[in-house]
Structure 1
Amino acid sequence: MYISQLSLTDFRSYAQADVRLSPGINVLIGPNGVGKTNIVEAIGYLANLSSHRVSNDGPLLRFGTERAVIRGTVHHADRVSSLEVEITSGKINKARINRANPVRAREILGIVRTVLFAPEDLSLIKSEPSFRRKFLDDLLLSLRPVEVGTKTDYDRIVKQRNALLKSVRGRSALSTSQEATLQAWDLQLAATGARIMRGRLKILELLEPYMAAAYADLADGAKTASMQYLSSISSEGPTAELDHSELPQLGQDQLQELLLQALEANRSRELERGITLFGPHRDDLALYLGHTPAKGYASHGETWSFALALRLAAYRVFGDDDPRPGAGPILILDDVFAELDATRRDRLAHIVAGAEQVLVTAAVPEDVPKALKGAFFQVSPGQVDDA
């Protein structure tokens, strides 16, 4: 898979930018702050409808504008698609496929697949569970776009359930109608939450062997990397005896029943705190080097290797999902090589060099390993030129 033409209108620092890209290696060179990452961020947005840098769309609009447009020509196996996403302040984003009538933006999910490496990836290892949940969910939704509706429904249910819990916080008893409403939300949360959990567990099953192998390649086999899904339903209450290692063997119906049990058994706690305490929005992904948690114990080099191994595993999972020639995901390496020591830099370069399309950003050409040879672009404020 590759993008041959990218056009940006009022996106980030670009009033207008048109970039012709090639299969193979494409390197964007320029000092920090000139807009290199904005280019690859736009390609990532076509794939995931979200940014790897910010949690909302506001900063994506060029200052003083109310609308940004990303257009891309995507070559996927034997198919060529023209995509357009319109990001509008305060409104629902729209998309076009092959210049047809506008559709909901989420209709384009799955057409472009990217795996992005960036300094922000260190948050996968070092920061809060939300980063690791997003990693799993982004991969799940890219592989199975039909689950976007499930995730949207779940987020809405949690928000409305929390609003109800907050409104009755501290009360010793609920009215009949309030109790009925809360039970209704319980059923919906358990149904959608179990589907998300089952999807995440399947993704984890696909990722783990590739992640372990990639870490061994990057870190020269010094330690073994592993992962485990940590669920809120395994931590306390009537399901506390359920070991985290048992979760992958459970079906969706079993997970749904366990979620319901946790919600019902902890009703008083949730009423006291005014918040939903159980469900996939409270889960985490534990990462280990040997028997030691990576978070808080891994060195800087080990942290980088683990983060890169997770992304390389995602790349392999995409490849297994669609093994046709020309269907592999686009690899994006955003200012990564400057952060790596020489050994890890060379190993990563050789691993990714054979991808259908690789986009690299770097401050100076010397930061790009010699194994990555291809088209070079010079980026200056608001402009991208052939180098």
Structure 2
Amino acid sequence: MSHIASLRLTDFRSYASLDIALSGAPVVLYGPNGAGKTNLLEAVSFLSPGRGLRRAKMEDLARRSGDTAAAAWGINAEVDDTRVSVGQVPEYPKRRIVRLDGKNASGTQLAQLLTLMWLTPAQDRLFTGPASDRRKFMDRFSLVHAPSHGMASLRYEKTRSERNRLLSDGITDRGWYEALEADMATQGAHVAQARAMTVTRLVDEIEARAAAKEDDVFPKAILALEGEAEEQFQSGLSFEDVENYICETLAADRPLDQRAGRTLRGVHKSDLRVRHAEKNMPAEDCSTGEQKALLIGLTLAHARAQSDKKPILLLDEVAAHLDIDRRAALIEELIALGTQIFMTGTDASLFEAFNGRAQMFEVREGSVSEKTGP
């Protein structure tokens, strides 16, 4: 099992410095609000591609003292005998650099080494918020199956932005559009394929658990992936067929897109729809507690679906929203996953069900101390 064996922070958020050793057991971080628990989870989230669980700007992460910010922040970790270093570039504060064993590395290489998933209070509005939030949620899951998914998404968005610029500027040169649309089709097909594969595996896991009549304290979810390209992959079409379809659609839509000044169709418009199976009710119409339970259930199902590369889970303030029985059931589910878990909460009593099976750390004012014994 891949796990983070050590974590060292330098001038990151509220931490001037931090150096902790981790055994691979679940990690519990408890302490009052504002102590720095989520900051630590955010640091761990930067050991994967992207902008972390808060989607913060690189220049906003350096520790501040009054009006002065540190020159640069850094995160170092040991993962499966590999030294991972992520940090801000002092000369270019809006950029970050990734190194594996001292050598510059790409986000795809980082994703191949380590996969992370997270749940935060901000995601409580996932089902009622915009489709873009659900796409990000789905794309984070997709990185498990396709480490290059993040790069394909970035390339698609870059090319779409360039096409939108032509559209808004009234450019009509056919050759420019064809070149951009060919690249959008290739990258869009990669994005759609990864999403379709991810949702298919997630549905299979949910159905297998239901067929086994597992006593599940979290509700069963019914999933539907809405998106033309994704639905074509789910229907069995080949990559080449979907790629050609996207390219032909972009060409056919060009006059309409020119009037709108932007690309109206594509994988940037896809959505993930979720229903509460027992109630046969859309997730967005469920109660706040039911939505939270659905979200936790989906995350657990996705983690169970990984037979070879189990993702590390970062769960921020999840336990506080559950009653004592569901909290205990969640902890047993997490232990059964056999992967590394990081959890936060305001009080150690929220995690009593671990019963000595977790590393307990008290967090106070940017300092972390491990607690042992009862």
Between the aligned partners of 2:233 and 2:116, the Cα distance in structure 1 is 32
Tell me, yes or no, if the aligned pair for 1:201 and 1:248 is still in contact at 8 Å. no
Between the aligned partners of 2:339 and 2:304, the Cα distance in structure 1 is 13
The answer for the alignment partner of 1:205 in structure 2 is 200
The answer for the alignment partner of 2:98 in structure 1 is 95
Between the aligned partners of 1:376 and 1:224, the Cα distance in structure 2 is 31
Change (3 A) 1:214 1:133: farther
Tell me, yes or no, if the aligned pair for 1:233 and 1:262 is still in contact at 8 Å. no
> Aligned-pair distance for 1:73?
1.0
Tell me, yes or no, if the aligned pair for 1:47 and 1:142 is still in contact at 8 Å. no
> Aligned-pair distance for 1:250?
2.2
| Superposed counterparts of 1:183-202, under 5 Å | 183-202=178-197
> Aligned-pair distance for 1:364?
0.8
The answer for the alignment partner of 1:68 in structure 2 is 73
Structure 1 residue 351 corresponds to structure 2 residue 347: no
The answer for the alignment partner of 1:229 in structure 2 is 225
**Residue deviations 1:13-71, cap 9 Å, x none?**
11111122222132211101110111122112103343112254343222313421110
Between the aligned partners of 1:43 and 1:246, the Cα distance in structure 2 is 33
Between the aligned partners of 2:148 and 2:232, the Cα distance in structure 1 is 28
Find 2:138's aligned residue among 136, 139, 145. 136
Percent of matched pairs sharing the same residue: 26
| Superposed counterparts of 1:97-176, under 5 Å | 97-98=100-101, 100-168=102-170, 175=172
Find 1:259's aligned residue among 242, 246, 251. 246
Between the aligned partners of 1:372 and 1:116, the Cα distance in structure 2 is 23
The answer for the alignment partner of 1:287 in structure 2 is 274
The answer for the alignment partner of 1:308 in structure 2 is 296
Structure 1, unaligned stretches of length 5 or more? Answer: 169-173, 235-243, 323-327
Corresponding residue SS for 1:196: helix
> Aligned-pair distance for 1:167?
1.0
Structure 1 residue 337 corresponds to structure 2 residue 315: no
Between the aligned partners of 2:233 and 2:363, the Cα distance in structure 1 is 50
**In terms of mean alpha carbon deviation, does 30-39 or 250-259 score higher?**
250-259
The answer for the alignment partner of 2:33 in structure 1 is 32
Change (3 A) 1:263 1:356: closer
Tell me, yes or no, if the aligned pair for 1:95 and 1:107 is still in contact at 8 Å. no
The answer for the alignment partner of 1:240 in structure 2 is none
Q: Which amino acid aligns with 2:258?
A: L
Tell me, yes or no, if the aligned pair for 1:13 and 1:62 is still in contact at 8 Å. yes
Tell me, yes or no, if the aligned pair for 2:59 and 2:94 is still in contact at 8 Å. no
Structure 2, unaligned stretches of length 5 or more? Answer: none
Q: Which amino acid aligns with 2:266?
A: G
Q: Which amino acid aligns with 2:364?
A: S
Number of equivalent positions: 359
Tell me, yes or no, if the aligned pair for 1:218 and 1:305 is still in contact at 8 Å. no
Find 1:179's aligned residue among 157, 174, 178. 174
**In terms of mean alpha carbon deviation, does 207-216 or 28-37 score higher?**
207-216
> Aligned-pair distance for 1:331?
2.8
Change (3 A) 1:303 1:310: same
Change (3 A) 1:61 1:288: same
> Aligned-pair distance for 1:202?
0.8
> Aligned-pair distance for 1:232?
5.1
Change (3 A) 1:102 1:190: closer
User: What is the TM-score of this pair, normalised by structure 2?
Assistant: 0.86
Change (3 A) 1:372 1:209: farther
The answer for the alignment partner of 1:238 in structure 2 is none
Between the aligned partners of 2:223 and 2:244, the Cα distance in structure 1 is 25
Corresponding residue SS for 1:34: coil
**Residue deviations 1:76-129, cap 9 Å, x none?**
xxxx2111111235454222222x233345432221222323223323322211
Corresponding residue SS for 1:110: helix
Q: Which amino acid aligns with 1:208?
A: V
